[in-house]
């Protein structure tokens, strides 16, 4: 999908305005010349400035080609049969993870979700199982051990290191 710089710039400008407005509600920090909203405000101002430039660039491009440039154009792959179903399946699997991760755990759910996605996209079963198991273990070590981000243990609570 290709989205015009005009549309992208306007969406980012709206986000910048929302961030700026919300940052103004943050409390002051006692004894500091600036409050908790200082950094988000600076980010919002920068984002707003660059989104205005992006929107202007998109507007100029549309004006130069006489308005022929589409604001949003779908890529060819979006018309491929099954693409919409794969997209919806991905959303459903994320929802399944959110709802069941505490009970089942990261490792079994990750392997299961990857296997379903690999099956749907035509990956050979042996390759799919190997990649699903290896990548799940890599993510478990990276997040739980190296980054110290607790992942749900679920049914493996007593077995995990």
Query: pLDDT tens digits for the chain (161 residues)?
Result: 678 899 999 999 999 999 999 999 998 888 888 888 889 999 999 999 999 999 999 999 888 888 777 888 887 877 888 888 998 999 999 999 999 999 999 999 999 999 999 999 999 999 999 999 999 999 999 998 898 888 998 998 887 66
Q: Which residues pair with 3 in a beta bridge?
A: 72
Please answer whether residues 1 and 78 qualify as being in contact, where contact means their C-beta atoms are separated by less than 8 angstroms.
Answer: yes
Please answer whether residues 4 and 71 qualify as being in contact, where contact means their C-beta atoms are separated by less than 8 angstroms.
Answer: yes
Residue 55, number of CB atoms within 10 A of its CB: 20
Q: Which residues pair with 2 in a beta bridge?
A: 73
**pTM summary value:** 0.60
User: Is the backbone of residue 105 left (phi > 0), alpha (psi -120 to 50) or beta?
Assistant: left
Q: Which two tokens stand for residue 4?
A: 């015009």
Distance between CA atoms of 61 and 67, rounded to whole angstroms?
8
């Amino acid at each position: 999908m290709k989205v015009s710089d005009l549309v992208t710039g306007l969406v980012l400008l709206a986000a910048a305005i929302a961030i700026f407005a919300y940052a103004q509600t943050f409390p002051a920090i006692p004894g500091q010349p600036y409050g908790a909203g200082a950094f988000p405000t600076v980010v919002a101002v920068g984002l707003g400035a660059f989104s205005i430039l992006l929107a202007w660039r998109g507007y100029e491009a549309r004006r130069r080609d006489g308005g022929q440039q589409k604001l949003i154009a779908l890529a060819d792959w979006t018309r491929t049969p099954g693409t919409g179903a794969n997209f919806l399946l991905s959303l459903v699997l994320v929802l399944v993870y959110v709802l069941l991760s505490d009970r089942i755990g990261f490792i079994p759910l990750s392997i299961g979700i990857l296997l379903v996605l690999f099956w749907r996209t035509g990956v050979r079963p042996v390759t799919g199982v190997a990649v699903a198991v290896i990548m799940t273990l890599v993510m478990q070590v990276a997040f739980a051990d190296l980054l110290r981000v607790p992942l749900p243990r679920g049914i493996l609570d007593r077995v995990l290191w």
